A and B are shown apart, each in its own frame.
Chain A
């Protein structure tokens, strides 16, 4: 046995993030760790990476007890971690990023040539091709991730922790990543994989450990289980399949015409280039695409948070081009923002205060807040969306990501506004929260709301949308009706394959019937 974590317990105050967790890893094994948000996966991995010390429990590496006080200790013991958000220096080269922290030297100087050689050697040895001299900023996300893994290998890791590695990748990039993981495992490297994507995990893992409420619910061999069983184990109950009736689109609510947002100074390529589309009442229009292809700009422009350079936007028949967020909200916009911390909340303020944003107009009397009413409103959302919060008085930042996201979704859907922009509404949230948010969006649609769903999660797009647009490099690369969309066809457009003949309907629905992810198979 390479690694044994025994009876790991981590208490935060009275709350046990981990309660007597046993976890083992064998040499050359890929061991997936799954569970809902707040189940304790991250805590367990932070303990293994030396970022947290356990309240009790022991870690053994090759039978020897290990005390980890910092990530440096972990790296020295051969444990490396690739975070969900890459930690690379964009303006430096691939080689420089790989050797950072342990740079080869000649005398007191940094030996750039040696660094490039090292990078090339590693890349060849492990079969993960990269160009050592290319700047990170010029590398696609898939390559950046490869660099992250090479960096960890360069540091001498035998155990590699990958946190949500496929969250930002296109479908072909995910395939490559999974192949790379299998290849490295064959060479004796061991992986711990944290992920929400069950099918992906089934494909690549040897064993799967399911955590719930800080405890191990089960450790199973991937070959002996299936996606349905795993999701049951994670959630602790049967999932109710989402009921989706056919859409009955009404009048146009959002009309976007020729929307253009130019890049910063010196950037020739516009971030958004003549984007035109319409969202009608009672339909969900999904915008698919790999993140960074203009989705952020599109959402911010429509929500009044970014200046547009050309084009017109109409909301409920009214020209709202250039209007600010205040006017847009008054004229019927609700917005679940892409980044819940940047736009969607104030971490240091209470849940009640965070819930009140945008609702003060309906809960005030001559300039005074009706705090009681706001509080009851927040309490109703906490109950209705099953938000785990001790009370509306606790800081929003103390909520887990998924629970904060539910709060934001509840707050925005509660307006009952004609238009809802839902940008990455379930990014990084667990299945239970996803179910609730998806149900909320569909309910709003059935009530006659127009919903613009922007997501880099293809399964989410396929599950909810009535029409699908694919955004690639700031342009709409194609449009599909929900019943003719396949994961392959959309995936090709997302990756920039311009052969339009390919996305003909005849391609079939292989992508969906496979149940590429739980979300799709349940949809």
Chain B
């Protein structure tokens, strides 16, 4: 009985995102028509670009990896009621630390890889923890501090890779570190495909985070604090400690995202390579779309990645410009976040009630 009801609940939960997807595609169709493209062709290319072949599918999975990890970290902070918008800076420091560890740590390759991942987590976590400390110590608004710390991180990392760590061996047009030794790279999941072991880490992290939130005392305290901080305080939860651990873990996820991008996709730290695709903001978006549910965040990360790879497919194969693909993405996201179906249903119910009352 209870299982049935739960099943019905989760099915009902699917109605809304699917309807939003449909509405977003419809709105996107208007944009496509406006620029004179063919709606059918555009969406066909979009589907192909995201899932059309094994190659494209794995490409989408690869792109979702950093978004998913960042999204999980953001979701964790949001669930605790902390508005950590510093994912970008945490991502960059994680990536840089991982690259440095992978390049310069004198250790056997397997160990160096693990050390690089850990370095990424620590660097991202520490940068995030700094914002938490500023809040606890100086009552500096977390939203503001995390946002501003992003800029510091961007320029600091840019400096390191432009001067002390710059690869001077190759054609020096790009600011980047040296190439990491092939033995230290994260293994690919399939030969010749871009998806790497980082995706498995991200998927496992989503499940792990779900279990931690649901089944541990710490997760319970965190959820209660996010739901009503005064209730948590009253029940004996210590805000400062909770904040420190949450921010550390939240930034750690973003740092790990940076590390797996470096070790699994780029094999070096390249200036702007992580900021240009907007991974951090996509991650935040994924957490927001899923209402900070860990498994939902993972699913939303996949969706966002698919929209992006699909959009590239549209650009490659049709006359429709990439901007229109972005419009479609934005429309879908807007409709999902609008939660319009529920409001619509409510209004219809109210109208029915009016009818019988009159």
**What is A's interface to B at a CB cutoff of 8 Å?**
53-58, 67, 69, 303, 305, 324-326, 328-330, 335, 337, 342-349, 353, 356-358, 360, 364, 367-369, 371, 391, 393
Task: Give, as a whole number of angstroms, the nearest-CB distance from A417 to chain B.
Answer: 12
Contact partner, A325, options B2, B235, B354, Cβ 8 Å: B235
Find the A residue at minimum CB distance from B231.
A346
Contact A369 B220 (CB under 8 A): yes
Contact B224 A358 (CB under 8 A): no
Knowing A344-B231, A364-B217, A369-B220, say if A326 contacts B357 (CB, 8 Å): no
Binding site secondary structure of chain B: helix
Contact B356 A55 (CB under 8 A): yes
Contacts of B356 in A (CB 8 A): 55-56
Contact B236 A326 (CB under 8 A): yes
Q: Which of A56, A328, A337, A349 has the most CB of B within 10 A?
A: A349
Contacts of B217 in A (CB 8 A): 360, 364, 367-369
Contact partner, B215, options A324, A325, A344, A369, Cβ 8 Å: A369
CA distance A401 to B340 in the complex (A): 30
Contact indicator per residue, chain B 215-258, by CB within 8 Å of chain A (1) or not (0): 11110110110011011111111100000000000000000000
Contact partner, B228, options A345, A360, A368, Cβ 8 Å: A345
CA distance A53 to B216 in the complex (A): 44
Contact partner, A347, options B2, B223, B228, B237, Cβ 8 Å: B228
Task: Give, as a whole number of angstroms, the nearest-CB distance from B118 to chain A.
Answer: 22
A/B interface sample: 20 pairs, CB < 8 A: A53-B350, A53-B354, A54-B357, A55-B357, A56-B357, A57-B357, A67-B354, A324-B236, A326-B238, A329-B236, A342-B230, A343-B230, A343-B231, A348-B228, A349-B227, A353-B223, A357-B232, A357-B234, A360-B221, A367-B217
Q: Does B358 contact A (CB under 8 A)?
A: yes
> What 5 A-B pairs come out closest when comparing CB atoms?
A326-B236, A346-B227, A357-B235, A346-B228, A343-B234
CA distance A57 to B231 in the complex (A): 41
CA distance A23 to B187 in the complex (A): 75
Could you list 4 further interchain pairs (A-B, Cβ under 8 angstroms) beyond the known A325-B235, A369-B216? A67-B358, A305-B234, A326-B236, A343-B231
Find the A residue at minimum CB distance from B219.
A369
Knowing A325-B233, A348-B227, A360-B217, say if A53 contacts B238 (CB, 8 Å): no
Task: Give, as a whole number of angstroms, the nearest-CB distance from A445 to chain B.
Answer: 23
CA distance A393 to B237 in the complex (A): 22
Contact B353 A325 (CB under 8 A): no
**What is B's interface to A at a CB cutoff of 8 Å?**
2, 215-218, 220-221, 223-224, 227-228, 230-238, 350, 353-354, 356-358
CA distance A326 to B236 in the complex (A): 4
Task: Give, as a whole number of angstroms, the nearest-CB distance from B301 to chain A.
Answer: 24
Contact A358 B357 (CB under 8 A): no
Q: Which of B2, B228, B353, B354 has the most CB of A within 10 A?
A: B228
CA distance A415 to B284 in the complex (A): 41
Contact B220 A325 (CB under 8 A): no
CA distance A348 to B292 in the complex (A): 14
Contact partner, A358, options B218, B228, B235, B353, Cβ 8 Å: B235
Task: Give, as a whole number of angstroms, the nearest-CB distance from A328 to chain B.
Answer: 8
Contact B231 A357 (CB under 8 A): yes
Contact partner, B224, options A57, A69, A349, Cβ 8 Å: A349
Contact A371 B215 (CB under 8 A): yes
Knowing A56-B356, A345-B228, A346-B228, say if A305 contacts B233 (CB, 8 Å): yes
CA distance A364 to B217 in the complex (A): 7
Task: Give, as a whole number of angstroms, the nearest-CB distance from B125 to chain A.
Answer: 19
Contact B230 A360 (CB under 8 A): no
Find the A residue at minimum CB distance from B354.
A53
Contacts of A360 in B (CB 8 A): 217, 220-221
Contact A357 B216 (CB under 8 A): no
Find the A residue at minimum CB distance from B356.
A56
CA distance A353 to B215 in the complex (A): 11
Find the B residue at minimum CB distance from A356.
B220
CA distance A325 to B240 in the complex (A): 13
Find the B residue at minimum CB distance from A347.
B228
CA distance A67 to B354 in the complex (A): 9
Contacts of B231 in A (CB 8 A): 343-346, 357
CA distance A336 to B231 in the complex (A): 12
Task: Give, as a whole number of angstroms, the nearest-CB distance from B213 to chain A.
Answer: 11
Contact partner, B234, options A325, A347, A356, Cβ 8 Å: A325
Contact A353 B224 (CB under 8 A): yes
CA distance A357 to B235 in the complex (A): 6
CA distance A349 to B230 in the complex (A): 14
CA distance A56 to B358 in the complex (A): 8
CA distance A53 to B2 in the complex (A): 32
Contacts of A369 in B (CB 8 A): 215-217, 220
Task: Give, as a whole number of angstroms, the nearest-CB distance from A225 to chain B.
Answer: 33
Find the B residue at minimum CB distance from A58.
B357
